[in-house]
Protein backbone atom coordinates (compact mmCIF):
# COMPACT_ATOMS: atom_id res chain seq x y z
CA UNK A 1 0.00 0.00 0.00
CA UNK A 2 1.30 3.47 -0.87
CA UNK A 3 1.94 5.91 1.94
CA UNK A 4 1.03 9.56 1.59
CA UNK A 5 4.69 10.44 0.97
CA UNK A 6 4.99 7.62 -1.55
CA UNK A 7 1.93 8.71 -3.51
CA UNK A 8 3.20 12.32 -3.56
CA UNK A 9 6.56 11.15 -4.92
CA UNK A 10 4.88 9.16 -7.69
CA UNK A 11 2.68 12.14 -8.60
CA UNK A 12 5.71 14.45 -8.81
CA UNK A 13 7.54 11.95 -11.03
CA UNK A 14 4.51 11.78 -13.33
CA UNK A 15 4.31 15.57 -13.46
CA UNK A 16 8.02 15.76 -14.29
CA UNK A 17 7.56 13.43 -17.29
CA UNK A 18 4.44 15.27 -18.42
CA UNK A 19 6.27 18.57 -18.32
CA UNK A 20 8.84 17.75 -21.01
CA UNK A 21 7.17 18.78 -24.27
CA UNK A 22 4.77 21.17 -22.52
CA UNK A 23 7.74 22.96 -20.94
CA UNK A 24 9.58 23.08 -24.28
CA UNK A 25 6.50 24.57 -25.96
CA UNK A 26 6.20 27.17 -23.20
CA UNK A 27 9.86 28.15 -23.52
CA UNK A 28 9.40 28.52 -27.29
CA UNK A 29 6.43 30.83 -26.78
CA UNK A 30 8.28 32.70 -24.05
CA UNK A 31 11.29 33.40 -26.28
CA UNK A 32 9.16 34.64 -29.15
CA UNK A 33 6.35 36.43 -27.33
CA UNK A 34 7.55 37.39 -23.84
CA UNK A 35 5.62 40.67 -23.73
CA UNK A 36 2.40 38.92 -24.74
CA UNK A 37 2.67 36.18 -22.11
CA UNK A 38 3.95 37.92 -19.00
CA UNK A 39 0.85 40.01 -18.23
CA UNK A 40 -1.80 37.37 -18.93
CA UNK A 41 -3.88 35.92 -16.13
CA UNK A 42 -6.54 33.22 -16.06
CA UNK A 43 -9.98 34.81 -16.40
CA UNK A 44 -12.07 31.64 -16.36
CA UNK A 45 -11.69 27.87 -16.27
CA UNK A 46 -14.03 24.92 -16.67
CA UNK A 47 -12.85 21.36 -15.98
CA UNK A 48 -15.37 18.99 -17.55
CA UNK A 49 -15.57 15.22 -17.63
CA UNK A 50 -13.86 14.99 -21.03
CA UNK A 51 -12.54 18.48 -21.83
CA UNK A 52 -11.04 21.42 -19.99
CA UNK A 53 -11.49 25.00 -21.22
CA UNK A 54 -9.55 28.10 -20.18
CA UNK A 55 -10.09 31.77 -21.00
CA UNK A 56 -7.24 34.26 -20.54
CA UNK A 57 -7.42 37.96 -19.72
CA UNK A 58 -6.90 38.95 -23.37
CA UNK A 59 -10.05 37.03 -24.34
CA UNK A 60 -8.22 34.07 -25.93
CA UNK A 61 -9.50 30.57 -25.15
CA UNK A 62 -7.98 27.11 -25.19
CA UNK A 63 -9.42 23.63 -24.85
CA UNK A 64 -7.71 20.29 -24.13
CA UNK A 65 -8.67 16.78 -23.13
CA UNK A 66 -9.07 16.44 -19.38
CA UNK A 67 -6.31 14.12 -18.23
CA UNK A 68 -5.74 13.58 -14.53
CA UNK A 69 -3.61 10.92 -12.88
CA UNK A 70 -5.44 9.41 -9.93
CA UNK A 71 -3.58 9.05 -6.65
CA UNK A 72 -4.68 7.84 -3.24
CA UNK A 73 -6.75 10.40 -1.34
CA UNK A 74 -4.65 12.48 1.02
CA UNK A 75 -5.37 12.89 4.68
CA UNK A 76 -7.00 16.22 5.41
CA UNK A 77 -3.86 17.65 7.01
CA UNK A 78 -1.79 16.81 3.91
CA UNK A 79 -4.11 18.18 1.25
CA UNK A 80 -2.72 20.91 -0.99
CA UNK A 81 -4.54 24.25 -0.80
CA UNK A 82 -1.92 26.36 -2.54
CA UNK A 83 -1.85 28.08 -5.95
CA UNK A 84 -4.02 26.47 -8.66
CA UNK A 85 -5.81 24.21 -6.21
CA UNK A 86 -9.64 24.22 -6.51
CA UNK A 87 -10.99 27.72 -5.96
CA UNK A 88 -7.53 29.26 -6.47
CA UNK A 89 -7.10 29.15 -10.26
CA UNK A 90 -9.03 32.14 -11.61
CA UNK A 91 -7.12 35.42 -11.29
CA UNK A 92 -3.65 33.88 -11.19
CA UNK A 93 -0.97 34.84 -13.71
CA UNK A 94 -0.66 32.30 -16.51
CA UNK A 95 3.15 32.20 -16.29
CA UNK A 96 2.95 31.06 -12.67
CA UNK A 97 1.61 27.72 -13.90
CA UNK A 98 5.03 27.00 -15.39
CA UNK A 99 7.26 28.31 -12.61
CA UNK A 100 6.76 25.52 -10.11
CA UNK A 101 5.56 21.89 -9.96
CA UNK A 102 2.57 21.99 -7.68
CA UNK A 103 1.32 18.58 -6.40
CA UNK A 104 -1.85 18.68 -8.54
CA UNK A 105 -2.80 16.07 -11.13
CA UNK A 106 -4.71 18.73 -13.12
CA UNK A 107 -1.51 20.78 -13.60
CA UNK A 108 -0.46 19.46 -17.07
CA UNK A 109 -4.02 19.93 -18.33
CA UNK A 110 -4.08 23.56 -17.18
CA UNK A 111 -0.64 24.23 -18.65
CA UNK A 112 -1.55 22.83 -22.05
CA UNK A 113 -4.88 24.68 -22.12
CA UNK A 114 -3.02 27.95 -21.46
CA UNK A 115 -0.52 27.19 -24.25
CA UNK A 116 -3.39 26.51 -26.64
CA UNK A 117 -5.13 29.75 -25.66
CA UNK A 118 -1.97 31.84 -26.15
CA UNK A 119 -1.24 30.10 -29.46
CA UNK A 120 -4.72 30.76 -30.84
CA UNK A 121 -3.89 34.40 -31.62
CA UNK A 122 -0.51 33.52 -33.14
CA UNK A 123 -1.42 30.73 -35.55
CA UNK A 124 -1.93 32.95 -38.60
CA UNK A 125 1.57 34.45 -38.31
CA UNK A 126 3.62 31.24 -38.38
CA UNK A 127 5.63 29.63 -41.15
CA UNK A 128 3.18 26.83 -41.82
CA UNK A 129 0.04 26.10 -43.77
CA UNK A 130 -3.42 25.96 -42.17
CA UNK A 131 -6.30 24.14 -43.87
CA UNK A 132 -9.72 25.07 -42.49
CA UNK A 133 -12.52 22.54 -41.97
CA UNK A 134 -10.19 19.65 -42.58
CA UNK A 135 -9.64 16.38 -40.70
CA UNK A 136 -6.13 14.87 -40.90
CA UNK A 137 -7.49 11.55 -42.11
CA UNK A 138 -8.66 13.36 -45.26
CA UNK A 139 -5.00 14.02 -46.07
CA UNK A 140 -3.97 10.36 -45.88
CA UNK A 141 -4.04 8.01 -48.88
CA UNK A 142 -5.99 5.01 -47.58
CA UNK A 143 -6.20 3.25 -50.94
CA UNK A 144 -3.00 1.25 -50.55
CA UNK A 145 -1.95 -1.47 -48.11
CA UNK A 146 0.25 0.28 -45.60
CA UNK A 147 0.69 -0.34 -41.89
CA UNK A 148 -1.11 2.33 -39.89
CA UNK A 149 -0.70 2.57 -36.13
CA UNK A 150 -2.81 4.67 -33.83
CA UNK A 151 -1.55 5.65 -30.39
CA UNK A 152 -4.81 5.96 -28.50
CA UNK A 153 -8.16 4.58 -29.62
CA UNK A 154 -9.95 7.16 -31.74
CA UNK A 155 -13.21 5.49 -32.73
CA UNK A 156 -13.98 7.35 -35.97
CA UNK A 157 -10.48 6.63 -37.29
CA UNK A 158 -10.65 2.96 -36.30
CA UNK A 159 -13.88 2.58 -38.28
CA UNK A 160 -12.53 4.34 -41.37
CA UNK A 161 -9.13 2.64 -41.47
CA UNK A 162 -10.41 -0.86 -40.65
CA UNK A 163 -12.70 -0.64 -43.69
CA UNK A 164 -9.65 -0.40 -45.99
CA UNK A 165 -6.92 -2.86 -47.02
CA UNK A 166 -4.40 -1.21 -44.67
CA UNK A 167 -3.04 -3.11 -41.66
CA UNK A 168 -4.14 -1.42 -38.44
CA UNK A 169 -2.64 -1.47 -34.96
CA UNK A 170 -4.04 0.53 -32.06
CA UNK A 171 -1.75 1.00 -29.06
CA UNK A 172 -3.88 1.49 -25.96
CA UNK A 173 -3.62 1.25 -22.18
CA UNK A 174 -7.13 -0.13 -21.78
CA UNK A 175 -8.48 -3.00 -23.89
CA UNK A 176 -12.00 -2.16 -22.71
CA UNK A 177 -11.86 0.94 -24.93
CA UNK A 178 -12.61 -1.31 -27.93
CA UNK A 179 -15.84 -2.77 -29.21
CA UNK A 180 -15.81 -6.55 -29.58
CA UNK A 181 -15.27 -6.42 -33.34
CA UNK A 182 -12.28 -4.10 -32.88
CA UNK A 183 -10.25 -6.11 -30.37
CA UNK A 184 -8.14 -7.63 -33.17
CA UNK A 185 -6.51 -4.21 -33.66
CA UNK A 186 -5.56 -3.77 -30.02
CA UNK A 187 -1.95 -3.83 -28.91
CA UNK A 188 -0.82 -3.05 -25.35
CA UNK A 189 0.67 0.44 -25.16
CA UNK A 190 3.99 -0.89 -23.83
CA UNK A 191 4.62 -2.56 -27.22
CA UNK A 192 5.17 0.84 -28.88
CA UNK A 193 8.91 0.25 -29.39
CA UNK A 194 8.10 -2.86 -31.44
CA UNK A 195 5.06 -1.59 -33.35
CA UNK A 196 6.06 1.97 -34.28
CA UNK A 197 9.24 1.07 -36.25
CA UNK A 198 7.23 -1.21 -38.57
CA UNK A 199 4.52 1.40 -39.22
CA UNK A 200 4.24 3.61 -42.30
CA UNK A 201 1.75 6.06 -40.81
CA UNK A 202 1.42 6.87 -37.09
CA UNK A 203 -1.57 8.75 -35.70
CA UNK A 204 -1.12 9.99 -32.13
CA UNK A 205 -3.97 11.40 -30.07
CA UNK A 206 -3.22 14.60 -28.18
CA UNK A 207 -3.75 12.77 -24.89
CA UNK A 208 -0.11 11.68 -25.21
CA UNK A 209 0.81 15.29 -24.43
CA UNK A 210 -1.25 15.20 -21.24
CA UNK A 211 -0.05 11.82 -19.94
CA UNK A 212 3.60 12.53 -20.69
CA UNK A 213 4.22 9.82 -23.29
CA UNK A 214 4.58 11.99 -26.42
CA UNK A 215 8.35 12.45 -26.22
CA UNK A 216 9.05 8.70 -25.90
CA UNK A 217 6.60 7.90 -28.71
CA UNK A 218 8.20 10.37 -31.13
CA UNK A 219 11.70 9.11 -30.29
CA UNK A 220 10.67 5.55 -31.20
CA UNK A 221 9.51 6.50 -34.72
CA UNK A 222 12.12 6.19 -37.50
CA UNK A 223 12.69 9.21 -39.72
CA UNK A 224 10.66 9.46 -42.90
CA UNK A 225 7.37 8.12 -41.52
CA UNK A 226 4.18 10.15 -41.76
CA UNK A 227 3.33 11.22 -38.20
CA UNK A 228 0.04 12.88 -37.31
CA UNK A 229 -1.00 14.40 -33.98
CA UNK A 230 -4.76 14.80 -33.67
CA UNK A 231 -7.13 16.23 -31.08
CA UNK A 232 -7.70 19.54 -29.29
CA UNK A 233 -4.73 19.07 -26.96
CA UNK A 234 -2.23 19.63 -29.79
CA UNK A 235 -3.48 23.10 -30.72
CA UNK A 236 -0.39 25.08 -29.64
CA UNK A 237 2.11 26.64 -32.06
CA UNK A 238 3.39 23.68 -34.07
CA UNK A 239 7.09 24.42 -34.58
CA UNK A 240 8.11 22.15 -31.72
CA UNK A 241 6.17 19.11 -32.96
CA UNK A 242 7.34 19.69 -36.53
CA UNK A 243 10.95 19.72 -35.32
CA UNK A 244 10.35 16.30 -33.74
CA UNK A 245 9.13 14.69 -36.97
CA UNK A 246 5.38 15.37 -36.91
CA UNK A 247 3.97 15.84 -40.44
CA UNK A 248 0.39 17.00 -39.77
CA UNK A 249 -1.37 18.41 -36.71
CA UNK A 250 -5.13 18.09 -36.48
CA UNK A 251 -5.99 20.99 -34.19
CA UNK A 252 -9.08 22.81 -32.94
CA UNK A 253 -9.96 26.48 -33.46
CA UNK A 254 -12.44 27.95 -30.97
CA UNK A 255 -15.17 29.98 -32.72
CA UNK A 256 -17.61 30.59 -29.84
CA UNK A 257 -15.93 30.68 -26.41
CA UNK A 258 -19.15 31.27 -24.47
CA UNK A 259 -20.78 28.19 -25.97
CA UNK A 260 -17.55 26.23 -25.49
CA UNK A 261 -17.64 26.78 -21.73
CA UNK A 262 -21.32 25.88 -21.58
CA UNK A 263 -20.80 22.62 -23.46
CA UNK A 264 -17.66 21.61 -21.55
CA UNK A 265 -19.52 22.12 -18.27
CA UNK A 266 -22.18 19.71 -19.55
CA UNK A 267 -19.70 16.87 -20.25
CA UNK A 268 -19.19 17.47 -23.97
CA UNK A 269 -16.44 15.50 -25.66
CA UNK A 270 -14.60 16.79 -28.71
CA UNK A 271 -16.99 15.82 -31.49
CA UNK A 272 -19.83 17.76 -29.84
CA UNK A 273 -17.95 21.02 -30.38
CA UNK A 274 -17.56 20.98 -34.14
CA UNK A 275 -20.18 22.92 -36.04
CA UNK A 276 -21.23 24.67 -32.84
CA UNK A 277 -18.32 26.37 -31.07
CA UNK A 278 -15.18 24.98 -32.72
CA UNK A 279 -13.68 24.24 -36.12
CA UNK A 280 -11.33 21.49 -37.23
CA UNK A 281 -8.10 22.71 -38.79
CA UNK A 282 -5.03 20.94 -40.12
CA UNK A 283 -1.59 22.49 -39.71
CA UNK A 284 1.27 21.50 -42.04
CA UNK A 285 4.79 22.79 -42.62
CA UNK A 286 4.79 25.22 -45.56
CA UNK A 287 7.36 23.11 -47.42
- Which of 75, 90, 124 is the last residue in one of the domains? 124
Count of domains in the chain?
Answer: 2
Co-location of 132 and 251 in the same domain: yes
What is the predicted pLDDT for the residue at 126?
Answer: 77
If asked whether residues 106 and 154 sit together in one domain, one would say no
Residue 15 has pLDDT above 60, yes or no: no
User: Rounded distance, CA 44 to CA 254, Å?
Assistant: 15
- Residue 78 pLDDT > 90, yes or no? no
Lowest mean per-residue pLDDT among 19-23, 93-97, 192-196, 283-287: 19-23
* Judgement on whether residues 18 and 106 belong to the same structural domain of the protein: yes
Which of 124, 144, 178 is the last residue in one of the domains?
124
Q: By mean pLDDT, which of 59-68, 75-84, 206-215, 236-245 is the weakest?
A: 75-84
* Secondary structure of residue 228 in the 3-state scheme: strand
Distance separating alpha carbons of residues 55 and 113, to the nearest angstrom: 9
Coil, strand, or helix at residue 117? Answer: helix
Pure H helices in 33-182: 34-38, 107-120, 155-162
Q: Are residues 279 and 149 in the same domain?
A: yes
Do 152 and 71 lie in one domain? The reply is no
pLDDT the model gives residue 198: 97
Q: Domain of 116? A: 4-124
Q: For the whole model, what pTM was predicted?
A: 0.88
Which of 73, 94, 124 is the C-terminal boundary of a domain?
124
159 in the same domain as 95:
no
Within this chain, do residues 101 and 20 fall inside the same structural domain, yes or no? Answer: yes
Same domain, 153 and 180: yes
Same domain, 190 and 239: yes
pLDDT of residue 90: 97
Same-domain check for residues 180 and 236: yes
User: pLDDT tens digits, residue range 119-152?
Assistant: 998 887 778 899 999 999 999 999 989 999 999 9
Percentage of the chain exceeding pLDDT 90: 68
Same domain, 13 and 63: yes
Name, in order, each residue with C-beta under 8 angstroms of 83's C-beta and a sequence gap of 6 or more: 92, 96, 100, 102
- Residue-wise pLDDT for 169-192, tens only, equals 999 988 888 999 999 999 999 999
Q: Domain of 163: which CATH number? A: 3.40.50.11590
Same domain, 138 and 71: no
Amino acid sequence: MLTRNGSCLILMLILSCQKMIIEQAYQLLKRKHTALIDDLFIADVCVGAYLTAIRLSDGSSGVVSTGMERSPAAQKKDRFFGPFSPGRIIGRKAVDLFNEDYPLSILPTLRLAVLNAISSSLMTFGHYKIIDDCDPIDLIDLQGSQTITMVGAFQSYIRQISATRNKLFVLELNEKTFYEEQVEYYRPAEEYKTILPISDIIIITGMALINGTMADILEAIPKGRKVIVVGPSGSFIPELLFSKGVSIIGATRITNPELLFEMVSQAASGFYLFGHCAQKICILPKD
